[in-house]
Structure 1
């Protein structure tokens, strides 16, 4: 009887072992399958920009989408933008939404150099690669938040100085000009203002007034009309982006000073290219908006492949655009 029981127990143990082994094999296979799926899954990159109503950012979006289509086997792309340049809360929300959706990287043109840093720190803590393009994040805030986020973009001060230097050649010492600034808490806006100021100082040209139109065409139009009335001797308007240059152009026409007041901008959007060809705007700076996001995306892809790579800023081209260049 005891031998029978021992035999029965042995058979039962062997049966259970067989069942466990048969169950373990599919589980191992499933784990391997999940690993392979994870390895083969394409990274998802979110591009978060400022206002898509601005032609510069719609051009940026198209450039990024074209690049993704040409490299569709390498990554997926999600494109986002905000209603206008001042909608900071929505841009912060977009960062949080993209992190929650599980993106691998965020390439962002921040609407503000300071306000976006805490949200981007949280993204980095969640394991998301973050690349800053167009408008550089504030270095002091980055240090306070104890994070490194590389910047990919042009030297805005140098680009604005190129435009200012070209304008100065059309003026004479002692002439008066006015400046339409971007958002003052934006690094690129500050750098462009400084570039304009450096060029005017070198040519002994007086800046009669300098105010922020917050990158907006309609605000630039209103401000320029007021400034032209207050400073009737003004010979030129330096606008920190092309949307504001177009607003200034409308103001000059309404003021009856078309052809008498020169206008320069920054961004090289299509409407300003045409205005330069037509002799209505003197010059602008091209920071190659169609490629700017692409530079950031390519950097993000490299960091996803080599997560231990050193984080370094990368300077991109900025070129003077005049009627001669557009011929």
Structure 2
């Protein structure tokens, strides 16, 4: 009699436990194999991973993304940046956090066009949608990883060509210039260098040297100081972003060459505008950081809903001169 009661109680307890476990799975406890945990509020989670938030460009991007997400009200945005423009490990860690948090999409402005492909592959295997903004991921690396990632961003080569064209017209044929390059591992650095080189060729300028300053202001100051010493007849600097241009302007001033060396730039951050107004910087390029992030988020939401994005969603570029800076 006691044995029968014991068996009945055991069977009843097993049934209750099975029902409880099933209920937990339905209500968002442990996710089932191959699936994501259902969000309690129904909103998809989108991770925005940017480069250095010490760069005003990415501060503007983050602000624009947050405002866009708030306006839509249909997603949870998790925005993050890295310590400096070459902190690839920081971006890898951010991608891993998004995988752990079971995000629905990652929108990435990569610090390196090849090194971030492998961790993105892990995210894709976890079912996370991927969108690439700002800096194009390397096509060869994507193909090797069997990843198809839409790119939302500008034509960097055309933008820098237009900026360099303004400098070429100012200096005239025979003008001597140097190029300050961005991070060599980033596609936009290579593209902007190519655009500057085309502007120099078309305008009859002579590029006497080209060095990287990894997008950083302090490094650009040091690099250009050395270049001005090595090439005292430099008349122009083609700088691949405004952060480096700030260092270039400082180096030009320290060498007592203000008014003798002009700068063409890229990004149109607020900090560059005084130098546009006084003519030390003859042109920069607005690539609309806030809208670029917003467009990337929109593409992410589209793919989360099962839609297919274009391979390249081209965003705008606009040359800005002193007249525009007002």
Residue in structure 1 matched with residue 321 of structure 2 by the alignment: 322
In the alignment, the residues of structure 1 paired with residue 57 and residue 140 of structure 2 have an alpha-carbon distance, to the nearest angstrom, of 28
Partner of 1:153: 153
Matched, 1:101 2:140: no
* Per-residue deviation, residues 259-282 of structure 1 (Å, max 9, x unmatched): 110011110000112321233311
1:110 and 2:115 aligned:
no
Cα offset, 1:69, TM superposition: 1.6
**Structure 2: unaligned runs, 5 residues or longer:** 1-10, 29-37
TM-score of the two chains, using structure 2 as the length reference: 0.88
Partner of 1:87: 87
The answer as to 2:48 corresponding to 1:56 is: no
Q: What SS does the aligned partner of 1:210 have?
A: strand
Q: CA deviation at 1:27?
A: 9.7
The answer (yes or no) to whether the contact 1:134–1:153 under 8 Å persists in 2 is yes
The residue aligned with 2:299 is: 299
Residue 66 (structure 1) aligns with: 67
Which string of whole-angstrom CA distances, capped at 9 and with x for unpartnered residues, describes residues 187-222 of structure 1?
A: 000000000000100111100110000111011000
* CA deviation profile, 1:269-319 (whole Å, cap 9, x unmatched): 001123212333111000001211111001000111125x25522110011
How do residues 28-43 of structure 1 correspond to structure 2 at under 5 angstroms? 41-43=42-44
Deviation at 1:55, TM superposition (A): 0.6
Deviation at 1:32, TM superposition (A): 7.3
Check whether the contact 1:264–1:284 (CA below 8 A) recurs between aligned residues: yes
TM-score normalised by the chain length of structure 1: 0.88
Q: Distance in 1 between matches of 2:224 and 2:198?
A: 21
Kept in 2: contact 1:149–1:311 (CA 8 A)? no
- Counterparts in 2 of 1:306 and 1:257: CA distance versus 1, 3 Å: same
Decide whether aligned partners of structure 1 residues 129 and 286 sit closer, same or farther in structure 2, where only a CA change above 3 A counts: same
SS, match of residue 132 in structure 2: strand
Q: Is the 8 A contact 2:176 2:206 kept in 1?
A: yes
- Residues in 1 aligned to 2:24 and 2:186: alpha-carbon distance in whole angstroms: 50
Equivalences for 1:151-230 in 2 at 5 Å?
Answer: 151-230=151-230
Taking the aligned partners of 2:268 and 2:183, their CA distance within structure 1 comes to 19
Secondary structure at 2:171 match in 1: coil
> Where do 5+ consecutive residues of structure 1 fail to align?
1-15
Could you list the per-position Cα deviations for residues 126-160 of structure 1 after superposition, in whole angstroms to 9, with x for gaps in the alignment?
00011000110000011111111111000000000
Deviation at residue 172 of structure 1 after TM alignment? 1.5
In structure 2, what is the equivalent of residue 45 of structure 1?
46
Query: How many Å separate the matches in 2 of 1:168 and 1:193?
Result: 15
| Other-structure match for 2:8 | none
Q: What CA RMSD, in Å, does the superposition of the two structures yield over aligned residues?
A: 2.5
**Quick one: distance in 2 between partners of 1:237 and 1:104?**
43
Which stretch of the first structure deviates more once superposed, 273-282 or 285-294?
273-282
- The equivalent residue for 1:248 is 248
